[in-house]
């Protein structure tokens, strides 16, 4: 499978955890091509970025977004303010600093941060931000390509701040046809995300329709 100037193995040869290959680079053209083929970089290695395509894939159809009753006071009140793309670097940094179970460090390594900043500069990497007064208290970032929001990571420094950012991001981007959340989590299931087989997900990317 050709990704940019690199020849990757076919995705159906991936390991059980979704690992496909290590190598290539994180230049914008490579990243854009990889995501549109269902791949994303998850960590670094001595051989280069490690690319994954998990099966199943967790996605959210925007019209199936589930808003829990507990979130309505936040969405209808004035405690939180939502903004987009005013603090992308800060959101990226906050996501990198989240303590993660059974991990000694962050998967958001330096070259990956540089790549995401480049993609942000050309308008493809976006951040959804939750502000409380003048303080950034939660948010998410991801890539937005051909109507698909490829969600990368979220953070929250106060209760429900990341959920608020997620809901508002989906609601604020009317052209989103699908949110790719990559791997299944109970948190995202409660927001309405569902599991698709990898083949179903790749068919959506190829057809550019949902």
pLDDT tens column, 85-115: 999 999 999 999 886 554 434 578 999 999 9
Contact 39, 14 (CB under 8 A): no
How far apart are the C-alpha atoms of 160 and 157, rounded to whole Å? 9
Name residues whose C-beta falls within 8 Å of residue 208's C-beta, 6 or more positions apart in sequence.
146, 147
Residues of the chain with CATH 3.40.630.70: 58-207
One of 3.40.190.10, 3.40.630.70, 3.40.50.300, 3.40.630.40 is the CATH number of 58-207, namely 3.40.630.70
What letter would DSSP give residue 35?
H
pLDDT tens column, 112-147: 999 999 999 999 999 999 999 999 999 999 999 999
191 pLDDT higher than 60:
yes
**For position 105, what pLDDT does the model report?**
41
One of 3.40.50.1000, 3.30.70.3550, 1.10.8.80, 3.40.50.720 is the CATH number of 2-54, namely 3.30.70.3550
Residues of the chain with CATH 3.30.70.3550: 2-54
Nearest to 202 by CA among 125, 148, 133: 148
Nearest to 52 by CA among 43, 41, 61: 41
Nearest to 169 by CA among 69, 88, 54, 50: 88
| pTM exceeding 0.85 | yes
Bridge partners of 40, per DSSP, are 52
């Amino acid at each position: 499978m050709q990704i940019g100037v690199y020849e990757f193995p076919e995705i159906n040869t991936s390991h059980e955890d979704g690992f496909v290959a290590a190598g290539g680079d994180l230049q914008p053209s490579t990243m854009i091509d990889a995501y549109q083929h269902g791949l994303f970089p998850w960590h670094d290695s001595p051989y280069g970025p490690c690319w994954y395509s998990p099966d199943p894939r967790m996605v959210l159809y925007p019209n199936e977004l589930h808003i829990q009753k507990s979130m309505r006071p936040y969405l209808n009140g004035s405690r939180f303010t939502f903004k987009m793309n005013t603090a992308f670097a800060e959101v990226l940094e906050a996501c990198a600093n989240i303590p993660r179970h059974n991990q000694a460090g962050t998967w958001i390594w330096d070259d990956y941060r540089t790549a995401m900043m480049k993609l942000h500069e050309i308008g493809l990497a976006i951040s959804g931000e939750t502000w409380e007064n003048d303080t950034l208290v939660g948010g998410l970032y991801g890539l937005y390509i051909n109507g698909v929001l490829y969600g990368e990571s979220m953070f929250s420094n106060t209760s429900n701040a990341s959920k608020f950012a997620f809901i508002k991001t989906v609601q604020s981007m009317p052209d989103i046809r699908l949110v790719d959340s990559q791997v299944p989590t109970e948190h995202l299931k409660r927001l309405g995300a569902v599991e698709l087989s990898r083949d179903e997900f790749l068919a959506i990317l190829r057809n550019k329709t949902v």
